[in-house]
Every structure is written in structure tokens, then in C-alpha cells.
Structure 1
Amino acid sequence: MRTIRIRTFTFIGLYAIFMIPWIFYIAAYYMENGTIRFATDTQHERLLRGQAAEMMRLIESGAGEWSDPDWQERLHDRLRQAKMDAAIYSASDEELFRSDPERDGPMAATERFSVVADGQLLGRVVLYLPGSNALQAVAAIAGLLLALFIVGFELRRFLLKPLERMSLAARQIADGDWDARLPSSRIKEIAEVRDGFDVMVKGLRQASRKQAELEEERRFVIAAVAHDLRTPLFALRGYLDGMEQGIARSPEKLARYLAVCKEKSAQLDRLVEDLFTFTKLEYLDAELHRSTVDVNRVMRDAIESLGPQAGRKHVAVTAEYAEEELAVVGDSHLLERAMNNLLDNAVRHTSPHGEISVRCRKDGAKVAFAIRDTGPGFSEEELQRAFEPLYRGEASRNRSTGGAGLGLTISRRIMLQHGGELAVGNDTYGGALLTGWLPGANQ
């Protein structure tokens, strides 16, 4: 839709206000005079005076025929040609002739004279001269009123109505009606405001939806955390009560109870640590402590820290490192935390006596890594929801098979914070495959 600027619309309106009355004036002048040639006031007055003198002589010369119908008819024709009217009265004020009975009154332009012959008054004549510019003035005023009406109508259509509808739409949006339609306008400035307002509304709509999603996620996180905290706490309380009540009397049973309590406290410690890291990454937007980090070393340290856990399941971990240094710029603590989470996920989902293979390499300007295990791999649903906070593939939230459901989420967000990416998939020969990359230190 083509638009015009306000100044252009204003110029067109002023032009119409000036031109329409002028057109009406010219049309009225042409209708009255049969020409559009305008005479000056002096020329017009001189012409009018000559016509009046000629008409006076005609009436005075026909004094003896004032009552003759034929003479009155000829006089009437002459008066009509000259656009004049006349009234003739006898010496006794008896009306003998009137060309237009309605042409009278104090506002009419007249010439009055008496006809005298041999010292005797024959009668009086009233000559009504042509109207000056009354018709043209009325036409010009009518044109001005029409122009004002047209300009006012278009002003309301192009300016006021779009603004009124935009104000109404703003109130509807403020009340939460995101589907309120913003009006279009042919005025460029209003159209630009409308486009800017539309962008703002889309941003607010997205922010509102994001807020609703965050609120829903918050409720889910609270419920899930409450469940995850309650399970080990319930177990701890049960075993501690058993020890307090003397149920565990033998050293072997007491040692087993203590081992369970230690395991549950470790689970609580891990859950709290995961929640703290997730909150820090998600909401606090912590500043990274950047330094040059070797991904080979980070992966080696992560493998060593997960060695005891893998040893208990008799899972073999093999690693293939790049010959050169795989330098990246980032937070070494967070990067090691991300690799720990990935390896922990692989160890937990690998069957006893299984195998985990790790590979780090240079891929152009990127540093890439891959972690493959011999576990069951990811299902279709897990591939789509693996990075959702607190999501775990198993139907029950059993800690013997699953963690807090934050490990992959935290790892991916750490990668994104460092300008990289993390993806999940299934290896061709079976098992899960986690691949990721980070920008090299020279980028």
C-alpha cells in the first residue's frame, strides 16, 4: 500500500481549500457573464454606467408608449439582454411597468430619475442595475465550505481514525489480548509508528510466552527438586533411625548402614551442586574466568576423576588425544564440569564390563570431541528432550539408574556460553554418541 507523508497531505489539503472556492467562483462568473475574462473594477463600472445611460435614454424617448404592451415587451427584451430590471411609475405614482416583480428592496443597486417634458412631470423610473459579485461570492463561500468538509473528512479517515483504532488496540493489548489487530494507514509517519508498535507487540508476545514457559519450568523444577531431595533424605532418616534404635548391632550391619548413609549424602551433595550450577548458568549469567585451556588436559582430568566410578562397574575407558595442544579460551572449571557430566552420563548408562571411547581432535578452526559408550543409546523421545532441565529417560525417577537430570543440560549450556555446541545421537554400531566442539584459541 502506497503511503504519503503528513506534509504532503497537508499541502494537498491547503491546495484543495484554495482551489475549490476559486473553481466555484469562476464557474459562477461564467454562468452569469458567459465568459471567464475578468474586467477590472474601473472597466466594469464604466461599462455599467454606459449601459444604464443607454437604457435611460430608451425609456425617456418612449415616454408616450409606456402603457403600450408592445413597447413594454421590447423594453423587457432589452433589459434582459443588459441583465437589468426597471419599474416605471406615472406622475401619480401608479405603476405602469415592472420587468421583475421580485427585484426590489433597499439592498438592490438602482438608478432613479424623473422624466419631465415641457416642464411637466411625466413619471418616475427606477432602474435596477446588474448585481455586482453576489453570485460569485456565494459560489466561493459554498466552495470553501465544500473544501473544508472534504479536507476534514479525509483528515479523519487518514489521520484520526487510524490513531483512534491504534489507541483502542493498545488498550486491548494492555488487557492481554495479543491478537488485537493494529490498523493500517496511508500516512507514512503513522504507518511507521504502526510498524514499530507491531514489532513491540510481537516482542511483548514472545516475552509473555517465554515468561509463561519459565513459570511452568519453575513449577516443574520446584516439584522435581522437592522429589529428588525427599528420596535420599527419607533413606538417610530411615537408616539413621535404625542405627539410633540399635537395629544395626553387628559391625558388618553398622558398616553397611554407614555406607548407605554416605552414598545418600553424596547424592544430596551432587544434586545441590548440579542445582547450584544450573541456577548460576540459567539465571545469574555469571562472568566466565577466561584463560587458555587445553581440551586434551581437561578430558584427561575428567576421565581420571570418573575412574573409580567406572572401575566399580568394570567399564573400560579408552581415550584418543590429539598430538598437538587443543587450546581454547574459556573457564577451565566449567569446561571440566561439562566433560565430567558427559562422562558420568556415559558411565551410568553403560552396562557392566562395557566400554567408553573418547576422542579429541582438531577440526579446522574448531576443537572437536566425541564420547561413545556401549549402553542402550537414546530413544527417539530422549533425542528430542535430552537437554531439557530435569528430564530423565526412565519412566520412574529412580536414582539407581538416573542422575538429577541436569547433567546434559548444564554441559550444553556451558558449551553455548563458550561459543560452541553439544549434540546427542546414537552410534552406528550401537550405544550413545555425544559430540561437541569449541572455537579454537586463535578465533
Structure 2
Amino acid sequence: MRKLRIRTFTMICLFFVPTLPWIFFVIAHFMDTQTLSIANNHQQNETLQRHLTETIHMIETGTNKWEDPSWQNQLATLLQKTKMDVVIQSPTNSEIFRSNPERRSAFSSTEQFSVIEDGHLIGRVSVYLPKSNSVQMISALIGLLLAFFIVGVEMRRFLLKPLEKMSLAARQIAGGDWDVQLPSSRITEIAEVRDGFEVMVKGLEQSYRKQVELEEERRFVIAAVAHDLRTPLFALRGYLDGLEQGIAQSPEKVTKYVAVCKEKSVQLDRLVEDLFTFTKMEYLGMESNNKTLNFTYILRKSIDSLSPQAQQKHISISNHAVDDCFINGDSHLLERALDNVMDNAVRHTPSGGEVTVQCYKDSRKVIFTIRDTGPGFYSEELERVFEPLYRGESSRSRSTGGSGLGLTISQRIMRQHGGDLVASNHPEGGAVLTGWIPLPDPD
């Protein structure tokens, strides 16, 4: 459906208002005169005036013949040619002659005069002239009123009604009702406002839903973190109380208590750090410092940082990464993401196992995989492994020291760089985490 601009609609209305009365006037004129010519009106008026003068002269000069049938026939013939009618009355208002006994139209003009001779009233004469242009003028007035009515109806239909519906929709949205029906309009400006209003509504709805989701997630994170903090803090306080009260009397017990306290403090440090990073990315919109980086170098640094932990568990790390995998990204965030993935692999790989790292690139992206020889993921874990604070079954529980935020943070960092991180199981056993980052566009 073609749309109109407001100025075009206004011009059409301004053209329509005088046009419809003119059409009504012409139609009424044609029905009355059987011609569309209006230029002859002046000539017709002059002819009418001449006939009126002749008729009045005949009546005034023939006062002694008013009752003569022959004279009356002559007057009737003249009146028939001129389309006029006459009524002659005596001084006592009795009717002497009437050319047309039928009732005259209310739209006919009348000329009335008295005939006086030698100071005496002879009679009264009423001359009914042909129909004037009153019908045409009344038709034009009706056309004008109809034009205003039609313009008013169309203005309400195309302008006022859509605006009223959008006002009602705004009130519904303010009341929390997002399921609103926005009106359509054939006026371009109103249609554009409607489209912009619809975009705004969708944006507000998405923002509102996102805010609700974030609020629910915030409450869940706070509750889960409070529970996670309670366990190591309770253990840490218990061992510190033991040291304070002298329960650990031998050097071996003191060393054990101190080692446990150190381990719990490391767990607390990791949990707080992961929580801080997760909160910063989720709520503060962490901005990355994009630079051209060699992803292979960052991967190697992550492997080196986890090598001491792997050596303690007698786990070998195999690195099969190609060189010169250059990308655009934030080195700190990417290193944090890879550290989390590598830490997850080392923690869940049993003693004597192996972690295999691969990295290569195709025409559009850099792809890396980190595989461990641990128990892998259960089927229900694969759907929720990247959920915040999800740890799955006992083999991947809090006992391994994880915070439940590491893989979530890693996936969001990858997505922030335009890539992604997914989890799967290797056919020969063990978990496989596969990530990718797009290559920079060529200049």
C-alpha cells in the first residue's frame, strides 16, 4: 500500500475542499438548465429583466382588460415564453387572474407591486420569476459541508487514530504490558514514527528481560558464592583454631595444618578472582584492549604457567600448535581464558595422564583444542558446562578446587572476541574443549 507524506495529504485535502462544492454546483446547474455553460447567466439575466419589464408594462397598460379572457390568454402566452407566472388581485384581495394555479416553488423570486390610477388602487400584482441559482448555491453549500466532513473523517483515520493508538500503547508499555498492537498508517511520517516506536518497544523489552535475567543470575551467584566461601572459610578457621589452641603439637601436624590453610586460602583467592572477573564482564561490560597478537605465543604461555601443577600430578602436556596465528584481541583476557581451560584440563586429568593441545588456522579463523584423559563430561553436563557456578557430577565437583566460573569466563571472553568455546567428549575418552577466534580482515 502506497504511503503519503503529510504535506501531500494536506495538499489533497486543500484541493478537495473547494472541488467538491464546485462539482455539486455544476451538477445542480446542469439539472436546472440542461447545460454546463455558466457564462450565459449574465445574458439570461438581461433577457429576464427585459421580459419582466414587458410583462409589467402589459399589465399596467391593460388594467381595463384584466378580466378579458382574450387579454388573459395573451398574457399567459407571454408568461409561458418567459417562464414567469402572474397573480392579479383586486384591492379587496380577491383573485382576478392566476396564470398557474399550482403552488410556486420556494426557490422562485417574486416581484410584487400595486397598480394605481388617479390616486386610486386598481389592484395588486405578484410576478413569479423563473427559478434563480439558489438551488446551485445550496448544492454548493452542501458540497462544502460534505467536503469538510470527508476531510475530517480521513484526517481522523490517517492521522489522529494512529496517534491515539500509539499513545494507548505507550501507556500499556508503562504498565508493563509488552504485548501491544501498534497501528499502521498510510502517512509516511506516522509510519516512520510507528516503526521507530516498534524498535524502541523491542529494545525496551529485551533490556527489561535482560535485566530480569541478570537480577536472577545475580541472586543465584551471590547465594552460590556465599555457600562456596563458607566451606573453605570454615575449614580455614578450624585449622587456625587448632594451631592457636596448640592441638597441632608436633612439627609434622603444624606443617600439615599450615599446608591445609594455604590450600584453602588459594581456593578462596581463586574463587574471589573468578567472581571479580565474571562480575566485571557481566555487569560492567569489560572493554577489551584489542591489538595484533600471536595466539600461539599466548597458548604457549598458558601451558608454561600450568606446567608446575601438571608436573606435580605427573601429567604430560603435548603442544601441537602451528606458528604465526595472528589475531586481534586483548592478550590479558585471552591468557585468562586459556589459563582457565588448561587449569580445568589439568585438574580433571588423573595422575599419569596427558593433556593434548592443538592449534591451527584455516582461511577465516584460528582454532584450538585442549583434550584431557580424564573421565570426560556426562551427557547432562555438556548442556550446562558453561553455566555460571555449575560443577556437574562428583568427578568435577568442588573437591577439585574449581569455582564453577572458569569455563563460563573463558567462553564469554571468546565470544567477546567474535569467536566461541564449546565442550565435547573424545571418542577415545576424556573431555575436549574447542575454541576459535576469527582472523583479522585483510587490508
Task: Name the TM tier (shorter chain).
Answer: 0.7 to 0.9
- Please report how far the alpha carbon of residue 329 of structure 1 lies from its aligned counterpart in structure 2 after TM superposition: 4.2
Question: Cα offset for 1:123?
Answer: 4.5
170-179 vs 34-43, greater mean Cα deviation = 34-43
Structure 1 range deviating more: 262-271 or 10-19: 10-19
Q: Within 1, Cα distance between the matches of 2:341 and 2:128?
A: 112
- In the TM superposition, what whole-angstrom CA distance separates every residue of 1:37-80 from its partner, at most 9, and x where no partner exists? 22456413321123224434665687566446897688567646
Give the % identical residues: 59
TM-score (norm 2): 0.87
CA contact (8 A) 1:302 1:339 kept: yes
CA contact (8 A) 1:173 1:180 kept: yes
Distance in 1 of aligned mates of 2:138 and 2:105: 20
Counterpart of 1:360, as a letter, is C
The secondary structure found in structure 1 opposite 2:201 is helix
2:227 corresponds to which letter in structure 1? H
Query: What is the match of residue 307 of structure 2?
Result: 307
2:295 alignment partner AA: V
SS in 1 for 2:183: coil
Q: Does 1:202 align with 2:202?
A: yes
Shift of 1:102: 6.6
Instruction: Report if aligned partners of 1:21, 1:140 keep a CA contact under 8 Å in 2.
Output: yes
1:37 lines up with 2:37 in the alignment: yes
Describe the shift of the 1:145–1:72 C-alpha distance in structure 2 as closer, same or farther (beyond 3 A): farther
Contact 1:115 1:124 in 2 (8 A): no
Corresponding position of 1:356: 355
Aligned position for 1:331: 330
Unaligned runs of 5+ in 2: none
- Deviation track 1:234-277 (CA, whole Å, cap 9, x = no partner) reads 11111112222232222222222221111101100111111222
1:417 maps to 2:424: no
With over 3 angstroms needed to count, the CA separation of the structure-2 counterparts of 1:208 and 1:397, relative to structure 1, is: farther
Cα gap change, 1:97/1:373 in structure 2, threshold over 3 Å: closer, same or farther? same
Distance, in Å, in 1 between the alignment partners of 2:201 and 2:94 is 86
What is the rounded CA distance, in whole Å, between the counterparts of 1:122 and 1:299 in structure 2?
A: 131
Code of the residue aligned with 1:214 in structure 2: it is: L
SS at match of 1:306: helix
| Range moving further from structure 2, 166-175 or 120-129 | 120-129
**1:432 aligned partner:** 431
SS at match of 1:370: strand
C-alpha distance in structure 1 between counterparts of 2:329 and 2:52, whole Å: 108
On the 8 A contact 2:60/2:115 being kept in 1, the answer is no
- CA offsets per residue over residues 120-165 of structure 1, 9 Å max, x none? 9864533233353222222211211111111111211221111111
Cross-structure match for 1:114: 115
Which secondary structure does the structure 2 equivalent of 1:129 belong to? strand
* Paired position in structure 1 for 2:85: 85
Greater shift in the superposed pair: 281-290 or 21-30: 281-290
User: Which residue in 2 is equivalent to 1:380?
Assistant: 379
**Is the aligned partner of 1:217 residue 2:223?**
no
Label 1:246 to 1:12 Cα distance change in 2 as closer, same or farther (>3 A). same
1:345 and 2:331 aligned? no
Q: How many residues align?
A: 440
Residue 407 (1) aligns with residue 406 (2): yes
Which amino acid letter does the alignment assign opposite residue 344 of structure 1? D
Distance of 1:359 and 1:397 partners within structure 2:
23
Contact 2:391 2:398 in 1 (8 A): no
After TM superposition, the structure 1 stretch with the greater mean CA deviation from structure 2, 15-24 or 391-400, is 391-400
Q: How far apart, CA to CA, are the structure 1 residues paired with 2:121 and 2:293?
A: 132
Contact in 2 for aligned 1:426/1:432 (Cα 8 Å): yes
Please state how far the C-alpha of 1:226 moved relative to its aligned partner: 0.8
2:46 partner SS = helix
The answer as to whether partners of 1:358 and 1:372 remain within 8 angstroms in 2 is yes
